[in-house]
Amino acid sequence: MTNEQQPQHSTFLLNNKWHAKIVGLLVGILMLAIYLWIIGGITNLLIHLYNNILSNWTHGAERMIKEVVIMLAALELIRTLQSYLTLGRVKVTFILDAALVVLIGELISLWYGEYSTSEVIVNISVISIMSVLRIITTKYSPDDN
């Protein structure tokens, strides 16, 4: 079939070509917003690091670690969105990577906070299960890359 003979699938208002362009535009805008948020986070991190370098250094280091993990989670989200734009779908491994980064950030927050042992064990258990799922999805992925 040539391009002229291919059937045009349509949604309620738009055909697939326009729908894909609109979704791509919205995902691109979302990625730009996340980039701006990361730049603001880095700026905020540097300001707080400068202000806490001499006084209350341990609190500043704790805050810095938490903010860096949050920015890493945002980068994983960007990677997921990029895979959606290039592949037209989201890989489960990317979703698991983003969730693992967020959960590890929560574990770090538990480390610095006054939380019970059961909360830490539950968090570690969820991270362990998700790590096993990540390994399984990588091993049995239908994609070569």
In which band, very low, low, confident or very high, does the pLDDT at 128 lie, cut at 50, 70 and 90? very high
Residue 61 predicted with pLDDT over 80? no
pTM: 0.67
Rounded mean pLDDT, 129-143 = 86
Q: How far is CA 67 from CA 20, 42, 45, 125, in A?
A: 34, 8, 7, 23
Going by C-beta distance under 8 Å and a sequence separation of 6 or more, which residues neighbour residue 111?
none
- Total count of residues recorded for the chain: 145
- Helix ranges (H only) for the chain are 16-51, 57-87, 92-112, 117-139
> Does 8 or 72 have the greater pLDDT score?
72
What is the residue extent of each domain of the chain?
A: 16-139
